[in-house]
Structure 1
Amino acid sequence: MKKKYLFAITLLLVSLGITTKASAQYTNWAVGFRLGEPAGINVRKYFAENRAIDVNIGTFGGLYGNNRDYLRGAYRSVGITLQGHYLFHNRLFGKDSMHGYYGFGGQINSRRYYPDRLAYVNEYETRLSLGASGVAGAEYFLPNRPLSVFLEAGLYAEALPSPLFFNVQSGLGLRLNL
């Protein structure tokens, strides 16, 4: 786990040292990484004047507890997730370098589920889940660099198979604006 964080910090420091002629504005595409829940790779496509599609591919369940009661059993591991949001974004404080955003979308998860009926043998089932998610955040575009740093928070509300199973989500990350 320490190696992951060391790698992420090293990548961040190296990325901050890259200089180009890019302005402190978003472009068509951005690719980066997100630490938090979910954690993983982040891809964003900007379009129109204040819209974007944001996709996260990675893991979930590690930040807010990988041992949680669920249905008639428990989750005891970190899972894999695909999350997508349709975003609305605007400048904050009248500055091009700061944007606030919010959006809504969905999330598909795969995680080990340990049902009570299999507790005596300590076996699990792989459980797929589907739900809605919402997010709000702020993004700072570094001056004269094609990088942005973001901080966001949101909520996941499962629809299937456990309606209204809620999970708080948050994260911070770094994106390279292409």
Structure 2
Amino acid sequence: MKKSTILLFFLTSFLLFSKRSKAQDYQVAAGLKFAYEYGPSGKYFIDKTDAIEAVIGLRNHGAVFTGLWERHLPLFEVDKLKLYYGFGAHIGAVGDNTNPKFNHTLLLGADGVVGAEYIIPDSPIGISLDLNPRLEFGHGPYFDLSPGIGLKYIFK
């Protein structure tokens, strides 16, 4: 909890004291993702519609790294609102001291993502809402669906 508070304080300070960007489309963004796992995220557009996103998710005394390829398309013809979908994979480890079966468990699996992202006009802030279906092979197989909210700073 202390690490997430420090990270949130740092990101908020960075957002308040940074120069504003007016571009609708961007190439690089960094922020926080809040889902079943929460933590820092980064997105890099490799062309006008395709992006690579990385998330370091923290949970259950461990961490999970997720890499995603995403395609972004206009949504409802609303300026700065994009639909995105994609796929990727995750790897990590978690621990649960109360259940020996899941103590130091390897997580490895396939991920999907579908969501919407909105860039606030005249600001460098983006907000996203998505669903992350995941197929876990490490101690599964099992399937779960995690809703997520993202807040990111857009670099010019």
Give the TM-score taking structure 2 as reference length.
0.82
Q: Check the 8 A contact 2:95/2:104 in 1, yes or no.
A: yes
- Aligned to 2:90, the other structure's residue is in SS state strand
Match of 1:119 in 2: none
CA distance in 1 between counterparts of 2:70 and 2:112 reads 10
Q: Are 1:146 and 2:153 an aligned pair? A: no
**Cα deviation 1:59-78 (Å, max 9, x = unaligned):** 14xxxxxxxxxxxxxxxx34
Once the two structures are TM-superposed, the CA of residue 109 in structure 1 deviates from its matched residue by 2.2
What do you get for the CA RMSD once the two structures are aligned? 2.7
Q: Secondary structure at the match of 2:52?
A: strand
Structure 1 156/142 Cα, relative in aligned 2: closer, same or farther at 3 Å?
same
Kindly name which structure, 1 or 2, has the bigger radius of gyration based on alpha carbons.
1
Gaps of 5+ in 2: none
Distance 2:36 2:65 in 1: 12
Counterpart of 2:53, as a letter, is: D
* Whole-angstrom CA distance in 2 between matches of 1:90 and 1:9: 32
State the distance in 1 between where 2:70 and 2:129 align.
Answer: 14
The alignment of Structure 1 onto Structure 2 pairs a total of residues equal to 153
The letter of the residue matching 2:121 is P
How many angstroms does 1:101 deviate by?
A: 0.3
Describe the shift of the 1:148–1:115 C-alpha distance in structure 2 as closer, same or farther (beyond 3 A): same
Letter in 2 for 1:37: Y
CA apart distance, 1:14: 7.7
Unpaired stretches in structure 1, ≥5 consecutive residues: 61-76, 117-123
Q: Tell me by how many angstroms 1:24 deviates.
A: 4.5
TM-score (norm 1): 0.73
Q: Describe how 1:8-87 pairs up with structure 2 within 5 A.
A: 8=8, 15=15, 20=20, 22-60=21-59, 77-87=60-70
**1:77-116 alignment, distance < 5 Å:** 77-112=60-95, 114-115=99-100
Contact 2:64 2:107 in 1 (8 A): no
Quickly say closer, same or farther: Cα 1:32–1:131, change in 2 above 3 A.
same
Cα deviation, residue 48, structure 1: 1.6
